[in-house]
Protein backbone atom coordinates (compact mmCIF):
# COMPACT_ATOMS: atom_id res chain seq x y z
CA UNK A 1 0.00 0.00 0.00
CA UNK A 2 1.31 3.40 -0.92
CA UNK A 3 0.76 6.14 1.65
CA UNK A 4 1.88 9.73 1.15
CA UNK A 5 0.87 11.42 4.37
CA UNK A 6 3.62 13.47 6.00
CA UNK A 7 3.49 13.40 9.81
CA UNK A 8 3.60 16.79 11.43
CA UNK A 9 3.41 18.21 14.94
CA UNK A 10 -0.15 19.04 15.93
CA UNK A 11 -1.13 21.02 19.01
CA UNK A 12 -4.10 19.93 21.09
CA UNK A 13 -6.47 21.27 23.69
CA UNK A 14 -9.27 19.85 25.79
CA UNK A 15 -12.81 21.07 25.16
CA UNK A 16 -15.22 20.10 27.92
CA UNK A 17 -18.21 20.90 25.73
CA UNK A 18 -17.16 18.82 22.75
CA UNK A 19 -19.02 15.65 21.84
CA UNK A 20 -17.73 12.78 23.93
CA UNK A 21 -14.97 10.68 22.44
CA UNK A 22 -15.46 6.92 22.75
CA UNK A 23 -12.35 4.88 23.54
CA UNK A 24 -12.27 1.09 23.28
CA UNK A 25 -9.66 -1.03 25.10
CA UNK A 26 -9.01 -4.45 23.58
CA UNK A 27 -9.10 -7.57 25.75
CA UNK A 28 -9.51 -10.20 23.03
CA UNK A 29 -5.82 -11.08 22.65
CA UNK A 30 -4.89 -12.67 25.98
CA UNK A 31 -4.11 -9.35 27.62
CA UNK A 32 -4.48 -11.02 31.04
CA UNK A 33 -2.34 -14.07 30.26
CA UNK A 34 0.62 -14.86 32.48
CA UNK A 35 1.68 -12.09 34.81
CA UNK A 36 -0.22 -9.33 32.99
CA UNK A 37 -3.45 -7.44 33.48
CA UNK A 38 -3.79 -5.02 30.55
CA UNK A 39 -7.45 -4.19 31.15
CA UNK A 40 -9.37 -1.22 32.55
CA UNK A 41 -11.64 -3.19 34.86
CA UNK A 42 -12.62 -6.77 35.62
CA UNK A 43 -15.25 -8.09 38.01
CA UNK A 44 -14.42 -11.77 37.54
CA UNK A 45 -11.09 -13.55 37.78
CA UNK A 46 -11.83 -17.07 36.58
CA UNK A 47 -11.56 -16.92 32.80
CA UNK A 48 -9.80 -19.91 31.26
CA UNK A 49 -7.66 -18.44 28.47
CA UNK A 50 -6.27 -21.80 27.44
CA UNK A 51 -2.86 -21.67 29.10
CA UNK A 52 -3.87 -23.71 32.17
CA UNK A 53 -4.31 -20.56 34.25
CA UNK A 54 -7.42 -18.70 35.31
CA UNK A 55 -7.28 -15.04 34.38
CA UNK A 56 -9.26 -11.84 34.84
CA UNK A 57 -12.46 -11.63 32.81
CA UNK A 58 -13.01 -7.97 31.83
CA UNK A 59 -16.53 -6.89 30.99
CA UNK A 60 -17.68 -4.30 28.44
CA UNK A 61 -18.51 -1.52 30.88
CA UNK A 62 -16.37 -0.84 33.96
CA UNK A 63 -18.09 -0.97 37.33
CA UNK A 64 -18.98 1.08 39.28
CA UNK A 65 -20.22 3.05 36.26
CA UNK A 66 -18.22 5.92 34.80
CA UNK A 67 -21.01 8.30 35.77
CA UNK A 68 -19.76 7.99 39.36
CA UNK A 69 -16.22 9.09 38.54
CA UNK A 70 -15.42 12.47 40.10
CA UNK A 71 -12.32 14.69 39.85
CA UNK A 72 -11.07 13.15 43.11
CA UNK A 73 -11.76 9.51 42.17
CA UNK A 74 -8.65 7.30 42.59
CA UNK A 75 -7.59 4.87 39.88
CA UNK A 76 -8.37 1.83 42.07
CA UNK A 77 -12.05 2.75 41.72
CA UNK A 78 -11.76 0.17 38.93
CA UNK A 79 -9.77 -3.06 39.07
CA UNK A 80 -7.32 -3.44 36.22
CA UNK A 81 -3.72 -2.73 35.30
CA UNK A 82 -4.92 0.03 32.93
CA UNK A 83 -7.54 1.49 35.28
CA UNK A 84 -5.55 4.72 35.82
CA UNK A 85 -5.60 5.30 32.05
CA UNK A 86 -9.34 4.71 31.91
CA UNK A 87 -10.14 6.86 34.94
CA UNK A 88 -8.08 9.76 33.59
CA UNK A 89 -9.89 9.62 30.25
CA UNK A 90 -13.29 9.66 31.95
CA UNK A 91 -12.25 12.68 34.01
CA UNK A 92 -11.40 14.42 30.75
CA UNK A 93 -14.84 13.72 29.28
CA UNK A 94 -14.22 10.51 27.34
CA UNK A 95 -16.35 7.36 27.32
CA UNK A 96 -14.45 4.15 28.03
CA UNK A 97 -15.34 0.56 27.12
CA UNK A 98 -13.59 -2.81 26.91
CA UNK A 99 -13.83 -5.29 24.04
CA UNK A 100 -14.09 -8.48 26.13
CA UNK A 101 -12.32 -11.77 25.50
CA UNK A 102 -13.94 -13.79 22.71
CA UNK A 103 -15.61 -10.69 21.24
CA UNK A 104 -14.93 -9.72 17.63
CA UNK A 105 -12.76 -6.98 16.13
CA UNK A 106 -14.77 -5.70 13.15
CA UNK A 107 -15.21 -2.55 11.12
CA UNK A 108 -18.54 -1.52 9.60
CA UNK A 109 -20.39 -4.59 10.81
CA UNK A 110 -23.94 -3.75 11.83
CA UNK A 111 -24.17 -7.04 13.70
CA UNK A 112 -21.46 -6.06 16.21
CA UNK A 113 -22.51 -3.46 18.83
CA UNK A 114 -18.82 -2.86 19.54
CA UNK A 115 -17.80 -2.45 15.94
CA UNK A 116 -14.78 -0.13 15.62
CA UNK A 117 -16.81 2.33 13.56
CA UNK A 118 -18.56 3.27 16.82
CA UNK A 119 -15.32 4.49 18.44
CA UNK A 120 -12.70 7.14 17.82
CA UNK A 121 -9.77 5.40 19.53
CA UNK A 122 -8.85 1.71 19.84
CA UNK A 123 -6.16 0.75 22.35
CA UNK A 124 -4.41 -2.62 22.01
CA UNK A 125 -1.91 -3.21 24.80
CA UNK A 126 0.43 -6.16 24.30
CA UNK A 127 -1.64 -8.61 22.24
CA UNK A 128 -0.56 -12.22 22.69
CA UNK A 129 -2.82 -13.81 20.09
CA UNK A 130 -2.44 -13.21 16.36
CA UNK A 131 -4.99 -11.05 14.55
CA UNK A 132 -7.03 -12.94 11.99
CA UNK A 133 -7.07 -11.72 8.39
CA UNK A 134 -10.49 -10.13 8.88
CA UNK A 135 -9.29 -8.43 12.09
CA UNK A 136 -6.22 -7.03 10.34
CA UNK A 137 -8.41 -5.62 7.61
CA UNK A 138 -10.74 -4.13 10.24
CA UNK A 139 -7.82 -2.38 11.94
CA UNK A 140 -6.53 -1.01 8.65
CA UNK A 141 -9.92 0.28 7.56
CA UNK A 142 -10.60 1.76 10.98
CA UNK A 143 -7.45 3.85 10.79
CA UNK A 144 -7.74 4.60 7.09
CA UNK A 145 -11.19 6.07 7.66
CA UNK A 146 -10.20 8.35 10.54
CA UNK A 147 -9.73 6.15 13.60
CA UNK A 148 -6.92 6.35 16.11
CA UNK A 149 -5.00 3.16 16.99
CA UNK A 150 -2.75 2.96 20.07
CA UNK A 151 -0.24 0.15 19.50
CA UNK A 152 1.69 -1.26 22.48
CA UNK A 153 4.14 -4.15 22.43
CA UNK A 154 6.65 -5.65 24.86
CA UNK A 155 10.16 -7.04 24.67
CA UNK A 156 11.17 -10.02 22.54
CA UNK A 157 10.53 -13.46 24.05
CA UNK A 158 7.56 -12.18 26.07
CA UNK A 159 5.10 -14.87 24.97
CA UNK A 160 2.73 -14.86 27.95
CA UNK A 161 0.29 -17.50 26.70
CA UNK A 162 2.93 -19.83 25.22
CA UNK A 163 1.42 -20.00 21.73
CA UNK A 164 4.70 -19.24 19.96
CA UNK A 165 4.03 -15.59 19.11
CA UNK A 166 4.60 -12.68 21.50
CA UNK A 167 3.37 -9.10 21.00
CA UNK A 168 6.22 -7.93 18.70
CA UNK A 169 5.54 -11.02 16.62
CA UNK A 170 1.78 -10.32 16.55
CA UNK A 171 2.24 -6.72 15.44
CA UNK A 172 5.03 -7.42 12.94
CA UNK A 173 3.09 -10.19 11.22
CA UNK A 174 0.19 -7.77 10.79
CA UNK A 175 2.46 -5.01 9.48
CA UNK A 176 4.27 -7.33 7.08
CA UNK A 177 1.06 -8.74 5.63
CA UNK A 178 0.11 -5.26 4.41
CA UNK A 179 3.54 -3.99 3.41
CA UNK A 180 4.09 -2.04 6.64
CA UNK A 181 1.18 0.40 6.19
CA UNK A 182 2.10 2.50 9.24
CA UNK A 183 5.78 2.69 8.28
CA UNK A 184 7.06 0.92 11.41
CA UNK A 185 8.01 -2.45 12.82
CA UNK A 186 9.19 -3.65 16.23
CA UNK A 187 12.78 -4.76 16.70
CA UNK A 188 13.16 -8.14 18.36
CA UNK A 189 15.20 -6.78 21.25
CA UNK A 190 14.93 -6.06 24.97
CA UNK A 191 15.56 -2.45 25.97
CA UNK A 192 15.96 -1.40 29.58
CA UNK A 193 16.77 2.27 30.18
CA UNK A 194 15.45 5.67 31.21
CA UNK A 195 15.35 7.63 27.98
CA UNK A 196 15.62 11.42 27.95
CA UNK A 197 16.40 11.66 24.24
CA UNK A 198 13.11 13.28 23.25
CA UNK A 199 12.14 15.16 20.09
CA UNK A 200 10.01 18.21 20.86
CA UNK A 201 6.58 17.44 19.45
CA UNK A 202 3.93 19.70 20.97
CA UNK A 203 1.06 17.23 20.83
CA UNK A 204 2.98 14.51 22.65
CA UNK A 205 5.74 16.10 24.69
CA UNK A 206 4.01 19.26 25.87
CA UNK A 207 0.34 18.52 25.36
CA UNK A 208 -2.80 18.98 27.43
CA UNK A 209 -1.71 16.49 30.10
CA UNK A 210 1.66 18.15 30.62
CA UNK A 211 5.36 18.00 29.81
CA UNK A 212 7.19 14.78 28.98
CA UNK A 213 10.77 14.68 30.23
CA UNK A 214 11.61 10.98 30.18
CA UNK A 215 10.36 7.50 29.36
CA UNK A 216 11.42 4.44 31.34
CA UNK A 217 11.56 1.11 29.56
CA UNK A 218 11.62 -1.66 32.16
CA UNK A 219 11.86 -4.28 29.40
CA UNK A 220 10.59 -3.40 25.96
CA UNK A 221 11.13 -3.59 22.21
CA UNK A 222 12.48 -0.67 20.24
CA UNK A 223 10.83 0.51 17.03
CA UNK A 224 12.32 0.70 13.55
CA UNK A 225 10.96 3.10 10.95
CA UNK A 226 10.64 1.64 7.48
CA UNK A 227 9.08 4.70 5.87
CA UNK A 228 9.96 8.11 7.28
CA UNK A 229 7.39 9.77 5.02
CA UNK A 230 4.71 8.10 7.12
CA UNK A 231 6.18 7.59 10.59
CA UNK A 232 8.27 9.66 12.96
CA UNK A 233 10.08 8.94 16.21
CA UNK A 234 9.45 11.02 19.33
CA UNK A 235 11.39 9.23 22.08
CA UNK A 236 14.74 7.63 21.23
CA UNK A 237 17.17 5.50 23.14
CA UNK A 238 19.82 7.73 24.68
CA UNK A 239 22.50 6.35 22.36
CA UNK A 240 20.41 6.88 19.22
CA UNK A 241 20.41 9.88 16.91
CA UNK A 242 17.22 11.91 16.75
CA UNK A 243 15.63 11.62 13.34
CA UNK A 244 17.14 8.19 12.79
CA UNK A 245 15.20 5.10 11.82
CA UNK A 246 16.10 2.82 14.74
CA UNK A 247 16.42 2.85 18.49
CA UNK A 248 12.99 4.46 18.85
CA UNK A 249 10.83 3.89 21.92
CA UNK A 250 7.74 5.89 20.97
CA UNK A 251 6.60 6.80 17.45
CA UNK A 252 3.58 8.08 15.58
CA UNK A 253 2.26 7.93 12.04
CA UNK A 254 -0.65 8.84 9.81
CA UNK A 255 -2.49 6.48 7.48
CA UNK A 256 -5.36 7.59 5.30
CA UNK A 257 -7.49 9.90 7.44
CA UNK A 258 -6.39 8.25 10.68
CA UNK A 259 -3.50 8.10 13.09
CA UNK A 260 -1.46 5.58 15.06
CA UNK A 261 0.99 5.80 17.93
CA UNK A 262 3.35 3.00 18.92
CA UNK A 263 5.00 2.25 22.27
CA UNK A 264 7.44 -0.63 22.68
CA UNK A 265 6.88 -1.41 26.36
CA UNK A 266 3.69 -2.09 28.29
CA UNK A 267 5.18 -1.15 31.67
CA UNK A 268 4.62 2.65 31.33
CA UNK A 269 0.86 2.04 31.15
CA UNK A 270 0.76 -0.33 34.14
CA UNK A 271 -0.74 1.30 37.25
CA UNK A 272 0.21 -1.53 39.60
CA UNK A 273 -3.35 -2.62 40.42
CA UNK A 274 -5.57 -5.36 39.08
CA UNK A 275 -5.73 -9.12 39.49
CA UNK A 276 -4.29 -9.86 42.94
CA UNK A 277 -2.82 -13.10 41.56
CA UNK A 278 -0.51 -11.13 39.27
CA UNK A 279 2.60 -9.20 40.25
CA UNK A 280 2.03 -5.74 38.84
CA UNK A 281 4.15 -2.59 38.96
CA UNK A 282 3.23 1.08 39.03
CA UNK A 283 4.75 2.42 35.84
CA UNK A 284 1.99 4.99 35.38
CA UNK A 285 3.26 7.08 38.28
CA UNK A 286 6.90 6.10 37.73
CA UNK A 287 9.13 8.63 39.43
CA UNK A 288 11.70 8.48 36.65
CA UNK A 289 9.25 8.76 33.76
CA UNK A 290 6.53 11.08 32.46
CA UNK A 291 4.39 8.16 31.43
CA UNK A 292 0.86 9.30 32.14
CA UNK A 293 1.57 12.61 30.41
CA UNK A 294 2.88 10.92 27.27
CA UNK A 295 0.12 8.32 27.13
CA UNK A 296 -2.78 10.71 27.70
CA UNK A 297 -1.31 13.32 25.33
CA UNK A 298 -1.05 10.59 22.70
CA UNK A 299 -4.62 9.40 23.30
CA UNK A 300 -5.91 12.95 22.88
CA UNK A 301 -3.95 13.26 19.63
CA UNK A 302 -5.41 10.00 18.35
CA UNK A 303 -8.90 11.27 19.14
CA UNK A 304 -8.14 14.38 17.06
CA UNK A 305 -8.96 16.76 19.85
CA UNK A 306 -6.77 19.59 18.66
CA UNK A 307 -6.52 23.30 18.04
How many Å apart are CA 208 and CA 194, to the nearest integer?
23
Mapped onto helix, strand or coil, the DSSP state of residue 203 is helix
Residue ranges making up the domain that contains 136? 22-302
Rounded to whole angstroms, the Cα distance separating 75 from 201 reads: 28
CATH of the domain at 123: 3.40.50
Q: Is residue 84 part of a domain?
A: yes
pLDDT tens, the chain, 307 aa long: 444 444 444 333 333 434 689 999 999 998 887 777 889 999 876 666 554 455 778 899 999 999 999 999 999 999 999 999 999 999 999 999 999 988 999 999 999 999 999 999 999 999 999 999 999 999 999 999 999 999 999 988 777 777 889 899 999 999 999 999 999 999 999 999 999 999 999 999 999 999 999 999 999 999 999 999 999 999 999 999 999 999 999 999 999 999 999 999 999 999 988 776 667 778 898 877 699 999 999 999 999 864 3
Q: Considering the domain boundaries, does residue 268 fall inside one? A: yes
Q: How many domains does the chain have?
A: 1
Tell whether 1 is covered by a domain. no
Residue 12 in any domain: the answer is no
Predicted TM-score of the model (pTM):
0.90
179 part of a folded domain: yes
Separation of alpha carbons 82 and 89, rounded Å: 11
- For residue 193, being part of any structural domain is answered with yes
Within-domain flag for 8: no
Residue 291 lies in a domain: yes
Give the other-Cβ count within 10 Å of 16's Cβ.
Answer: 6
Query: Is the separation of the CB atoms in 166 and 157 below 8 Å?
Result: yes
∠ CA 150-129-179, nearest 5°, is 60
Amino acid sequence: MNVNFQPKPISIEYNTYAQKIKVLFDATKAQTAGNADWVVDADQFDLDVGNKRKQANPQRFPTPPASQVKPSTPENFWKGGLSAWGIELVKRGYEVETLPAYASITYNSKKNPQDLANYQVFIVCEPNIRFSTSEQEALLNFVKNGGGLFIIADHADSDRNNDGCDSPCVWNEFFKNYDYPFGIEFALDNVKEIATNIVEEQAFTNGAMGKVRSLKFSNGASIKIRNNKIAKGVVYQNRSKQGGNSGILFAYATYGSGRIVALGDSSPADDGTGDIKDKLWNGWEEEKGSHKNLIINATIWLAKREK
